[in-house]
Amino acid sequence: MSPIGTRQKLLDAAEDLLDDGGPAAVTLREVGRRGGVSHNAPYKHFSSKERLLAELAAREMTRLQEKLVEDRAAGLDAATAVTRSVREQVTRAVAHPERYRLIYGRWDSTDLVDRVAVESSALFAQTVADAQAAGAIAAGDPERIAALLRAVVRGAAELQSAGHLAADGKGRADAIDLVDDLLSLLRLS
């Protein structure tokens, strides 16, 4: 198997471990075992568990960013792209809460996570700004509005994952309902 193929296999194995048991379940030894390679092989690709987790966080952020890029490239207007992006973030956060927590976890110093986070945040804020310019979202600092949307996504997803939100129960709403409510408050039309 090529080094790139092995690396992807290891990232997939680490992602499965993360989904099953959180960051504590991710060990380089277990990643190697699940990836079908020797227990030392992961060390050839990742200098530490922290680096592996950072790559998983960057990978998840990149997936979300790519979806927004695809929507814009497909010609969707900015307001629709913002709505779809926020809904995708909620859906992924509820489906994979450990990945989402990892994205917003504390990092000592990882250039990769910082770079991807800055790119992703800038793209989302620019899309908000484009929606504002089209008159679809209320005026204001697009970076702050983007941060507000991310905060509501995170909070709503956490509440739903913890069982504190359900469309037919607590809160009479699920996480998507709450972000849709916020988006409707921000819309001008």
- What pLDDT is stored for residue 109 in this prediction? 64
| Higher pLDDT among residues 80 and 188, named by residue | 80
pLDDT at residue 78, rounded to an integer: 96
- Do 60 and 42 fall within a single domain? no
The tens digit of pLDDT for each residue in 32-66 reads 999 999 988 999 999 999 999 999 999 999 999 99
Higher local confidence (pLDDT), 1 or 136: 136
Q: Over the range 22-46, which residues count as b (16 or more CB within 10 Å of their CB) and which as e? A: ebeebebebbbeebebeeebbeebb
Residue 175 and residue 85 share a domain: yes
* Whether residue 61 is found in the same domain as residue 37: no
Residues 91 and 165 in one domain: yes
- Residue 29 shares a structural domain with residue 120: no
Distance CA 156, CA 92 (A): 12
Q: Residue 92: which domain range?
A: 56-186
Question: How wide is the angle at C-alpha 104 spanned by C-alphas 100 and 110, nearest 5°?
Answer: 115
Mean per-residue pLDDT, 71-84 = 96
Domain count, the chain: 2
Distance (Å, rounded) from C-alpha 16 to C-alpha 34?
Answer: 9
Residue 171's CATH number? 1.10.357.10
Higher-confidence residue of 39 and 81: namely 81
